[in-house]
Structure 1
Amino acid sequence: MKKILSVFLVLLIVSGCGAKKGDDDKIIKVTATALPHAEILKQVVEPLKNEGYTLEINVVDDYKIPNTLLDDGTIDANYFQHIPYLSDFNKQANSDLQWALKVHYEPIAIYAGKKDTLDAVKEGDTVLVPDDPTNLPRALSLLEELGWIELTGEKLRLKDIAVNHYNLDIKEIQADNITPLIDDADYAIINGNYALAADITQRGLQAESISQEKVDEIVNVIAVRKDDLESDKTKALIKAFSDPKVKTFIEEKYAPSVISTLD
């Protein structure tokens, strides 16, 4: 995942406007990115209210902010990242944040650019792919699944393409910058969250096939401080996500760009 240059967009207090100072033990502060995370969080407002808690959602579009705020104790939890990103932050910041709940994953998919069907692929077509080490291998595996390329055992970088059947012009682009360029390419491989934000999910042609092992790796999680894994707030938040309405919302609103992993 890449940093998106920004700061706080808005502090959104979605319920409990009557909360008083001194009631912080009944306020759960969660930082999230806008789509789909903040929208999903809104679905747990009422379940938390039933447990006596007010949910405050801080909406950001800078991936560095949520873990920093969690690490310094400003917030109680965050929801924006997968486990490898969390692990990397812990390593870089000498921190020990922990995931508390697996909520959803976002398959990458190939989207129509200038061509609206996979059958239209021709010699020399341009395909945009994310350039980061998490998503580039997934993009290359999808192209191999389509039968457009063949990979060596590594499947990590463009140099691992052993056979390029259509002599595709595969361009590495920062993941969050692909959607603005989609109409200049024949095809583009895009993460689900960016497709949602750009409102282009209807242009999806085929999603990646994902093993359970890969789902466990890329699933987006609720993260908390290690000392708060068993706190009342964390337990209440996890319980709120078990409300069937949350999973139904994800399935009806976002599938197949977002897939729930909730029970």
Structure 2
Amino acid sequence: MKKSIILAVVLAFTLILTACGQSTGKSEKNQTITVGASAVPHAEILKKAAPLLKKKGITLKVKVFQDYVLPNKALASKQLDANYFQHIPFLDLYNKQNKTDLVNAGKIHIEPFGIYSKKFKSVDAVKDGATVQISNNKSEQGRILLLLQSKGLLKIKSGIDPISATLAQKNGKYTDFDNIKHLKFLQPIDPAILPKAYVNSAADLYAINTNFALQAKLQPKKDALILEGASSPYANIIAVRKGDQNKKAIKELVSVLHSKEIQTFINEKYKGAVLPVSE
């Protein structure tokens, strides 16, 4: 009798363990992650990656955002598992200003930033005192100044970190750079409306993010007066809440985005306007 009771208990315990094991395995193999992204190219790249993730047991849902503020708010409030729209300097500034702790889970691509003009066909033609329209994204100011410096239109002062350089002024003069061409920077505007402003062409030069340039049907390699190179420190990343970068689903997401299939897709679809990063 005792042997029968012991056997029954052992059998029941074994069934419970088996069921738990099956349940755990199922949850690991059938996960869903939601990633916030800009429409172009980020959401397009993620949608291409979705079938590859599906093979790994991960369902990818993409939520498209049209601005640069809400994706981080949604991530910090746990409405998203990750987002894909920003570079590290932008993330660092956001964390500092909002006291958040979002982190980089992997660099995915570079969008070469461009300076565009309807008024000048070459940098040599840029006139002294030309007007420049930039976005109100402060983390981009150093990036824009670096681009203008690359063609001799200004020079960032010695001792100033180019990435942190700004348009700050003191006594009517820029503190971080020598304004060789006496460029006049107009009141910054939202980055999403820069392409429309460029079409209206009130300013001489426009500094436009590639994702918005692509949405406006601009071809960066053809249309940009000055175009950033592949060595830019402004790689776009997968951002997550601190600690989540170690989750299996996030690691698989980054791995798929670094895959040869996705890198080939980026190169063929965007023809140099977006450059894949594999680190």
Normalising by the residue count of structure 1, what TM-score does the alignment of the two structures yield? 0.78
- What's the counterpart of residue 45 of structure 1? 50
Structure 2 gaps, min length 5? 1-26, 169-173
CA distance in 2, matches of 1:130, 1:93: 20
Deviations 1:138-177 (A, max 9, x none): 2222222212234433453261443434x44332422513
- What's the counterpart of residue 15 of structure 1? none
* 2:227 pairs with 1:229: no
CA distance in 1, matches of 2:128, 2:67: 38
* 2:109 pairs with 1:89: no
Residue identity (%): 36
Query: Which range moved further: 197-206 or 92-101?
Result: 92-101
- What's the counterpart of residue 166 of structure 2? 156
- What's the counterpart of residue 138 of structure 2? 133
Deviation at 1:61?
1.4
Deviation at 1:114?
2.3
AA aligned to 2:251 is K
- What's the counterpart of residue 6 of structure 1? none
Say which of 197, 203, 206 aligns to 1:188: 206
Structure 1 gaps, min length 5? 1-21
CA distance in 2, matches of 1:65, 1:163: 35
Q: Is the 8 A contact 2:29 2:57 kept in 1?
A: no
Report SS of the residue matched to 2:115. Answer: strand
Deviations 1:12-65 (A, max 9, x none): xxxxxxxxxx99952121111111110111111111111122211111113232
Q: How many residues align?
A: 237
Normalising by the residue count of structure 2, what TM-score does the alignment of the two structures yield? 0.74
Would the alpha carbon gap of residues 61 and 230 (structure 1) be closer, same or farther in structure 2, given more than 3 Å must change?
A: same
- What's the counterpart of residue 257 of structure 2? 241
Would the alpha carbon gap of residues 142 and 47 (structure 1) be closer, same or farther in structure 2, given more than 3 Å must change?
A: same
Deviations 1:104-150 (A, max 9, x none): 12222221222233333234433323454322222222222212234
- Alignment map for 1:142-153 (pairs within 5 Å): 142-153=147-158
- Alignment map for 1:28-107 (pairs within 5 Å): 28-107=33-112
Query: Which range moved further: 126-135 or 137-146?
Result: 126-135
CA distance in 2, matches of 1:42, 1:73: 21
Say which of 26, 32, 36 aligns to 1:27: 32
Structure exhibiting the larger radius of gyration computed from Cα positions: 2
